[in-house]
Amino acid sequence: MPDVHALTRALQKKNDSKIVLLVADGLGGAPLSPGGKTELETAQTPNLDKVCQNGTSGLSHPIMPGITVGSGPGHLGLFGYDPWEYQIGRGVLEALGIDFDLGPKDVAIRGNFCTLDDGGNISDRRAGRIPNEVGAPLCEKLNKIEIPGVEVFVRHVKEYRLVIVFRGDGLGGDVYDTDPQATGVPPLEPQPKKEGSERTIEVAKEFLRQAREILKDDAPANFLTLRGIANMPPIPTFEEAYGTKAAAIAVYPMYRGLARLVSMDVLDAGQTLEDQCGRLEQAWDDYDFFFMHYKYTDSTGEDGNFDAKVKRIEELDAAIPRITGLDPTVLIVTGDHSTPSLLKSHSWHPVPTVISAKSCRTDGVSTFGEQQCIQGGLGQFESKYLMPMALAHAGRLEKYGA
C-alpha cells in the first residue's frame, strides 16, 4: 500500500479553504432487536439529513472490518494516521490532554483510583467516581512520592482519573496494565510485555508500594491501578502531513491530548456544545482545519441507555446550523468507532460518515443512518483515507503524475 502521508506531503496545495471534521464519539449503534432501528436512525436529525442530501455518505472502519478499537486509534485513523502503525498508549494521551510536557525520558501512565476491600480485592474500579475536590488532593499526596534515580510527577485529570509520569534513563513503555478489569480480585502486578521495560516495572512496583501506604485511610479511593503505560512516540505533525493549520475544539482531556499529539493548536472549548460552536466561530479566520469532538454519544452508549443516546444525537443535530452557517468548504460528520447501547461498549460495527462539499457527487442518501449510509457513494472504507478525500474536496491536493 502507498504511504498516504508521503503522497499528501508531495501533493500539498495551499488555498483559502476551510475543513471541519465533526466527530461524534461512538456515533454508530445497533438496533435493540433484529430489524429495528439504531439510535441514529431513531433520532430526529433534519439538519444532519440535509448534510447527507448535499453530500456523499458511507461507512468507515477505524482499522479494518471486525476490529473493535479504542478512542485513541479511532481518532488517529480519522486524522489520517494508520492506527496499526502509530500505536499510542493511553497514558501519553492523558498526559498531553492536561498539557503535560512529555520528554524523551518519560513514561506516562493513566491512573484510576479504586476501592480495595479488607481482603485487598477491588470492590470498585473507579472509587465511586469520586468528585474532583476529592481526587485532586489525593494526587497532591501522591506527588510527594520519591524514588531514587527517577523523577515522579502525579497530576489530577478528572474525578477518579490521574496521570503519573516517571522520568529517567532506561525506562521503557512496554508494561501491562495493573487493572484486572474485574471486581472481587486484587490489582495485578506490573508485568513486561517484552524486554526493555524492566526498570519501569521496578519503579512502578515501588510507586504502588508507597501509594498503598499513603492512601490506606482514604476510602473509597484507597488505592489505584495503572493503565496505558507508554513512551511518547515519534509522529509527523498534522501540518507536515497535510499543509493545513489545524485547531482542536474538544472538552475532554484525552481528545485534546490526541490533537496535541499531532501538533494541532488545542483551543479553550468551554464545557458545552454551545461553547464549542462559539469557539469555532471565534477562531474561523485563524485556521484551515477544525477538529470538533462531541463526547456524549459515546458515554450514553456505554451506559446502555438507548433513549439517552438518541437525545444526545438530536442535541448534536441542533448545533449543525451554526457550523454550516460558516459555509465550510468541506464538512465531515462521523465517529471514531461505534458504541451500541445494546452492547454497552465499543464495537466493530462500521461508522456512518458523510462528506459535504460543493464538489461532492450526491448519492441519493436522504437521511443520516446506518441503513442509508451503507448505500452511499463512499461505500465502506478505512478511516485513514478520510483525510485525503477531505483535502481533495478542499482543492488542497495537486494532480499526481503527468
Q: For 267-301, what is each residue's pLDDT tens digit?
A: 999 999 999 999 999 999 999 999 999 999 999 99
Q: Model pTM?
A: 0.86
Instruction: Report the alpha-carbon angle 50-56-61, nearest 5.
Output: 115
Give yes or no for a contact between 242 and 12, defined as CB atoms under 8 angstroms apart.
Answer: yes
Please list the pLDDT of the chain residue by residue as tens digits (402 residues).
568 899 999 999 999 999 999 999 999 999 999 999 999 999 999 999 999 999 999 999 999 999 999 999 999 999 999 999 998 888 998 998 898 989 889 999 999 999 999 999 999 999 999 999 999 999 999 999 999 999 999 999 999 999 999 999 999 999 999 999 999 999 999 999 988 899 999 999 999 999 999 999 999 999 999 999 999 888 999 999 999 999 999 998 889 989 999 999 999 999 999 999 999 999 999 999 999 999 999 999 999 999 999 999 999 999 999 999 999 999 999 999 999 999 999 999 999 999 999 999 999 999 999 999 999 999 999 999 999 999 999 999 999 998
The pLDDT tens digits for 36-69 are: 999 999 999 999 999 999 999 999 999 999 999 9
- Domains of the chain in start order, with CATH, are 4-86+235-393 (3.40.720.10), 93-231 (no CATH)
d(CA 251, CA 191): 33
Q: How many CB atoms lie within 10 A of CB 348?
A: 17
As a three-state string, the secondary structure of 63-97 is CCCCCCCCHHHHHHHHCCCCCCCCCCCHHHHHHHH
Give yes or no for a contact between 378 and 364, defined as CB atoms under 8 angstroms apart.
Answer: no
Give yes or no for a contact between 21 and 78, defined as CB atoms under 8 angstroms apart.
Answer: yes
Give yes or no for a contact between 329 and 394, defined as CB atoms under 8 angstroms apart.
Answer: yes
- Residue 280, C-alpha cell as written in the block: 469555532
